């Protein structure tokens, strides 16, 4: 009983710490601006009024120095804050996270709060629920295993994503839910969660298709075809409906140069640019002490996955497939668009790391 009380106490302390360092403080980032505008448009407002509403609301809430950084620190941000047409040309990059945008609208309407506060609630609540689910999942394990949850979550940047007004915290929650569903052999729930995640980040289609392909091991070809088609159809419909700016436009604008407007922005695909940029980003990140964490953790996770897959007991080896897919798909996502921002991969690494912790619990032989 004492051990259970200590475990509950540790969780309460962790959640309180996150609350104090994230939710209890005001924080604004640029990505929150188009998310607010996209959510406001769901109430029936046009682009011009949504653009004005969002920047006026930010002016009311943010410190002048923060506002100045978000609206005027670069030519791109000056264009986005002053020109509604330019702002609208990049808005599809955020509107395609449609499940997240609808959730912002729903939370705002239910609790009668503005969209920035809605973003704040979603980020913190997702991180808190994630920690709660992880603790429930490992509650009956040894105390030392249970306590590993908290440094893993901190190392995987749960603090930053719980205060960022972006979909990364929610994405991490859904990925962890899918991961634990697969570990408990509730595959259909895992597939549905990953299917929903496509409407949070479009690159999540990679994870969905990878997990569906596991059904090929049991020769369930019709199931693989049907569910893969469903995922691809959802991806295509979401992209078409919101007018996605496309892969190569995203690649160039995110990694090489952000244009002041996406009106008429249509760079020609060049494979040499792809490889030069990829190699340059990898070299830069490896040499930067603030950025090499991502590549290091991806490598460590991959090596541990391969170890458990090749050297674990039969059940452990089967379970090791799950974190192996998460970390492999994360690497594929990185290679396709090598964003140097850890938050994008945080959910992938949380899922794979806690799945590896689960494999460790199955590998340990209890003492008599």
Contacts of 54 (CB under 8 A, 6+ apart): 33, 34, 36, 37, 40, 115
Contact indicator for 313, 363 with CB cutoff of 8 Å: yes
Give the whole-angstrom CA distance, residue 23 versus residue 117. Answer: 10
Residue 24 has pLDDT above 90, yes or no: no
Contacts of 241 (CB under 8 A, 6+ apart): 98
355 assigned to some structural domain: yes
86 assigned to some structural domain: no
Contact indicator for 21, 159 with CB cutoff of 8 Å: yes
Domain extent for 328:
2-30+91-244+288-363
Strands (E), 213-274: none
Q: With 0-12 CB in 10 A as exposed, 13-18 as middle and 19+ as buried, what is 352?
A: buried
pLDDT band, residue 334 (cuts 50/70/90): very high
40 assigned to some structural domain: no
Per the structure, how many domains does the chain have? 1
pTM for this prediction: 0.93
Contact indicator for 206, 226 with CB cutoff of 8 Å: no
Give the whole-angstrom CA distance, residue 324 versus residue 280. Answer: 26
Q: Per-residue pLDDT tens for 107-117?
A: 999 999 999 99
| Tokens matching residue 85 | 């047409």
pLDDT band, residue 312 (cuts 50/70/90): low
281 assigned to some structural domain: no
pLDDT band, residue 313 (cuts 50/70/90): low
57 assigned to some structural domain: no
Contact indicator for 183, 322 with CB cutoff of 8 Å: yes
Contact indicator for 198, 234 with CB cutoff of 8 Å: yes
| Tokens matching residue 261 | 């407007």
pLDDT at 366: 47
Q: With 0-12 CB in 10 A as exposed, 13-18 as middle and 19+ as buried, what is 115?
A: buried
The Cα-based distances of 256 to 81, 173, 338 in angstroms read 22, 31, 11
78 assigned to some structural domain: no
Q: Per-residue pLDDT tens for 89-106?
A: 999 999 999 999 999 999
Contact indicator for 170, 200 with CB cutoff of 8 Å: yes
pLDDT at 368: 37
What number of residues does the chain have? 368
Quote the DSSP letter at residue 138.
Answer: T
Strands (E), 103-193: none
Give the whole-angstrom CA distance, residue 317 versus residue 308. Answer: 6
Give the whole-angstrom CA distance, residue 178 versus residue 199. Answer: 15
181 assigned to some structural domain: yes
Contacts of 206 (CB under 8 A, 6+ apart): 329, 332, 333
Give the whole-angstrom CA distance, residue 148 versus residue 45. Answer: 47
State the maximum Cα–Cα separation within the chain, in Å, rounded to a whole number.
70
pLDDT at 364: 58
64 assigned to some structural domain: no
């Amino acid at each position: 009983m004492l051990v259970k009380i200590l475990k509950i106490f540790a969780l309460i302390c962790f959640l309180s710490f996150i609350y104090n360092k994230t939710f209890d403080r005001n924080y604004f980032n640029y990505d929150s601006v188009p998310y607010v505008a996209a959510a406001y448009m769901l109430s029936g407002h046009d682009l011009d009024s949504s653009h004005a509403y969002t920047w006026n609301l930010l002016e009311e809430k943010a410190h002048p120095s923060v506002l100045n950084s978000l609206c005027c620190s670069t030519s791109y941000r000056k264009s986005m804050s002053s020109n509604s047409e330019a702002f609208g040309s990049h808005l599809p990059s955020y509107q395609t996270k449609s499940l997240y945008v609808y959730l912002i609208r729903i939370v705002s309407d239910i609790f009668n709060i503005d969209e920035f506060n809605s973003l704040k609630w979603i980020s913190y609540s997702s991180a808190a629920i994630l920690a709660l689910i992880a603790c429930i999942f490992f509650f009956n394990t040894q105390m030392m295993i249970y306590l590993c949850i908290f440094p893993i979550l901190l190392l995987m940047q749960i603090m930053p994503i719980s205060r960022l007004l972006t979909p990364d915290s929610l994405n991490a929650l859904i990925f962890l839910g899918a991961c634990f569903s697969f570990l408990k052999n509730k595959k259909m729930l895992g597939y549905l969660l990953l299917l929903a995640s496509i409407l949070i980040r479009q690159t999540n289609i990679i994870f969905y298709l990878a997990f569906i392909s596991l059904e090929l091991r049991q020769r369930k070809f019709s199931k693989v075809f049907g569910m893969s088609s469903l995922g691809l159809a959802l991806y295509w419909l979401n992209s078409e409906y919101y007018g996605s700016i496309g892969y190569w436009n995203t690649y160039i604008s995110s990694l090489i140069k952000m244009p002041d407007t996406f009106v008429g922005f249509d760079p020609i695909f060049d494979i040499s640019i792809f490889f030069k940029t990829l190699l340059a980003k990898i070299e830069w990140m490896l040499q930067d002490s603030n950025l090499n964490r991502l590549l290091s953790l991806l490598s460590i996770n991959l090596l541990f996955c391969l170890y458990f897959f090749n050297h674990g007991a039969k059940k452990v080896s089967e379970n090791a497939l799950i974190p192996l897919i998460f970390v492999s798909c994360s690497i594929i996502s990185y290679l396709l668009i090598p964003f140097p921002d850890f938050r994008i991969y945080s959910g992938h690494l949380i899922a794979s790391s806690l799945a590896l912790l689960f494999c460790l619990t199955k590998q340990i032989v209890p003492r008599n």
